[in-house]
Every structure is written in C-alpha cells, then in structure tokens.
Homo-oligomer: A and B are copies of this chain.
Amino acid sequence: MGHKTAQQADKEGWLSSGDSSGTSGDVLPSIFSRKPRDFSLPSSSWGEEMMRLYNYYNSQSEEATEGQEDHGEQWTRLPSYNRSLKYATGGVYLSKIIQSKARLFTRNIRDPGAAFEYVVFSRQDKQRCVCVFQAGHLLEGPPGHVHGGAIATMIDTVTGTHASLLSAPVMTANLNINYRRPIPLGSTVLIESTLDKEEGKKKFILCSVTSTDGSRVHTEATALFVSVSVSHLLRG
C-alpha cells in the first residue's frame, strides 16, 4: 500500500499538531478521525513581516468588521492542505485519493519555513485575492534568490485559487509572466490577484508580486483559467 499510517503522517508534521490524541487502530478510520493540517495557519517559521500581514488581513475579516457598511474590504482566510481533500466526496474517487501518495506541490516539504510559506485571503466580493508569501531557502534559482519556477508556482497557486472561488474546478490555460526584479531568499512578498473579466468558462486574471509596502514590483503576470469537470480528471 502506498499511503502512510496516521502515526507516520503525524510524526512527519502532516497532521494538525493540536489534534494528536485518539486511538490508532485501523489506518483509514484513524486518518478520518483526525484533522489534516491547515498550512495557512501561523507556524514558528513565520517571520515578523509574515505575521504582521497575516494579522492585518485577519483583522479585516467578517467577524472583526461586522458593523461596517462596505463589505468589499472584508477578507477571508482560505485554508490550505497538502492533498485534494475538497474533492474527497466519497466512493471510488475518495478511495483513489486515500491510496494515493500524491501531495500538493506547494505543500510537499515537511521542514517548516524551508520552502513555500503562504496564506491566501479572498475579498468578500471575490474580485480580489491577496497572498502573503515567505520564500524559504529550498526555493533557490539564481544564487541567493527565488527560482523563476517557484515564483510561477505561487502565481499559478494564487490566481488558480482565485479562479476556483468563482467556479471550481479550473485548469490553468495560460500564464504570461514578466520578471522585473529578483526576490531574495527568505523575504516576504505580497501577491495580489485581480479578476479582469469572465467569458463563459474562461476567467482572465491579473497578478502582481510586490514588496510588502507595495513600493517595489518584483513580478507581473496575466493568467487564464478554464472551468473543467472533476470526473474528467479523476477518470485517468
């Protein structure tokens, strides 16, 4: 069997650290009696700037600003897991997912802070998403700087998450990325995704990667996503 036991997964940090009690017994029931780890919650590897921005957007959430008239600037944190849990609705698909060793590319490294640390917030009106991204030392491309592919990966992730909010599931059809200034390893940047237009099954999205104060543009991109059916993907 390809899958890990719950104990192994827990030891490797895949499960939520706040929920490590419970009996082991059979593998499948014990996996489902535990919460998978939500990687969009703070960890000790998050730096000061990452925490500051996380707290800022969290403070702009629905609960915190209940009395306000304008709901446009309310932000909701989106949870993030290392496997396709949201498609696990039962039957043959669920069983495929349980048996699979497959893990989401951006959440596949166990060492906290070593690779992609990020959290995505969506605005109430779904016209924008924002991501706070801290780039770890395992993402190197040019000496001391983030790999162009790792930047592309975050752009695909944030714009794809945004497109999925409008109508899941989607597939990336095009990414057009302009790299303006390199991003130093270890730094925290802001990735903003703005809906440009929707045409039938197509969603056109604009994206920028900037310094956290917005003064320096690192990367600019456009992204196109197309809605697909899940069963089509899982059939293979």
Residues 156 to 212 of chain A near chain B (Cβ within 8 Å) = 156-157, 160, 169, 171-179, 182, 184-185
Interface size on A, residues (CB 8 A): 56
Is A22 at the interface (CB under 8 A from chain B)? no
Could you say which of B96, B174, B184, B233 contacts A145, with CB atoms under 8 Å apart? Answer: B233
A138, closest chain B residue (CB): B108
Is A139 at the interface (CB under 8 A from chain B)? yes
Is A141 at the interface (CB under 8 A from chain B)? yes
Is A29 at the interface (CB under 8 A from chain B)? no
CB-CB under 8 A for A147 and B115, given A142-B169, A179-B171: no
Q: Is the CB of A109 within 8 A of B108?
A: yes
A175, closest chain B residue (CB): B177
A155, closest chain B residue (CB): B149
Q: Is the CB of B140 within 8 A of A105?
A: yes
Copies per complex? 2
Q: How far is the CB of A165 from chain B (nearest CB, A)?
A: 16
Q: How far is the CA of A104 from the CA of B136 in the complex (A)?
A: 11
Overall SS of chain A's interface: mixed
Which residues of B sit under 8 angstroms from A154, Cβ to Cβ?
149
Is A65 at the interface (CB under 8 A from chain B)? no
Q: Is the CB of B185 within 8 A of A141?
A: no
A223, closest chain B residue (CB): B148
Which residues of B sit under 8 angstroms from A173, Cβ to Cβ?
178-179
Is A106 at the interface (CB under 8 A from chain B)? yes
Q: Is the CB of B144 within 8 A of A106?
A: no
Which residues of B sit under 8 angstroms from A98, Cβ to Cβ?
none
Q: Is the CB of A100 within 8 A of B137?
A: yes
Interface CB pairs A-B, < 8 A, 6: A102-B138, A104-B141, A105-B140, A108-B115, A171-B182, A174-B178
